[in-house]
Structure 1
Amino acid sequence: MTPLDMVLTPRGLRFQGRHLPCSLGRGGLTKRKREGDGATPRGTHRIVGLLYRPDRMARPTDWAVPIQPRDIWSDDPADPDYNLMTTAPSAYSHESLRRADPLYDLVLLTDWNWPYSVPGRGSAIFIHRWRRRGYPTEGCVALAPNDLLWLAQRIRYKTRLIIP
């Protein structure tokens, strides 16, 4: 492990000497992630991107990419763009990145099943804002808004998310 690693512990996500309370997937932790299981995959995942809503917040870092109105994430294993960010409209199942609620106002992207996805192995494991403390996700890691912003402003290219 390096000082740039985020490590899941019983107290939350540990990073740079702080423990950030977090929520995980409703399906618990797994080594055998599948699309729709609601589980958070164990393993070491690199941070590969940062998205933000420019209409709701200032650019948090110089490498953050704005979420546009038609941006979506494909979660359909039949889609040639499965587990990739693309734009609407799409005939395949997908999730809008520009949500009415604030969950995706700031999103850290991991390399789970990316860039060369295996259909059905599970799409996008994000680090995003939580609904409320303790409320489970669909498999992502979720943090309080202030902790998420603090984290986003401090991670670097070599930062990893380690879920033992």
Structure 2
Amino acid sequence: MPKSPGANLYKDAARWPVIPPWWLLSSPQAAALINVTPATLHIWRTRGEGPKTVPPLFLKPTQGDPIFHMYGTLRSWAAERVGIQYSFDDQCWDYFREDCPMLTDGVGSMAARTREFDRQYEASRREVGKGDEPRWVSLPTIQRLDPYYAKQPKWRRPDAKYKWADLY
């Protein structure tokens, strides 16, 4: 048994979905992504060995109080298992370069850039719902991200997710 949980998880980085690193995945989604059972993820979490979770106080209570992982921290954790450093900010920059290069220019905090992306994504999604052509985020990007967006939990305060993202 390897000394580092999940040591073989980052070997095929191409299979990781291209989604914003600040979005959240439920524990079952995270477990499926790193190819372990939710029970294994739970055991790692209780031992302090697994990826960090979003503190429940940031999210609105829901039935069963599911555990959520920020996608970027999950990727960083998996990368560390094989000796790679892939910070949250680096993931955000890589994501912006790929899906919305206009956010790589200028100045501003990462929280402001992520907030702007979410605002523009939601606006583009509404435009597609009305049958219009999206102005900011491409239709293929919306179609790729929609299954993940639909499962995002509700935050107690909408701005809390961006403040929490700055911690990582």
Determine which structure has more spread, i.e. the larger CA radius of gyration.
Answer: 2
More helix by share: 2
Higher relative contact order (CA 8 A, sep 6+): 1
More strand by share: 1
* TM-score, length of structure 2 as denominator length: 0.28
* TM-score, length of structure 1 as denominator length: 0.29
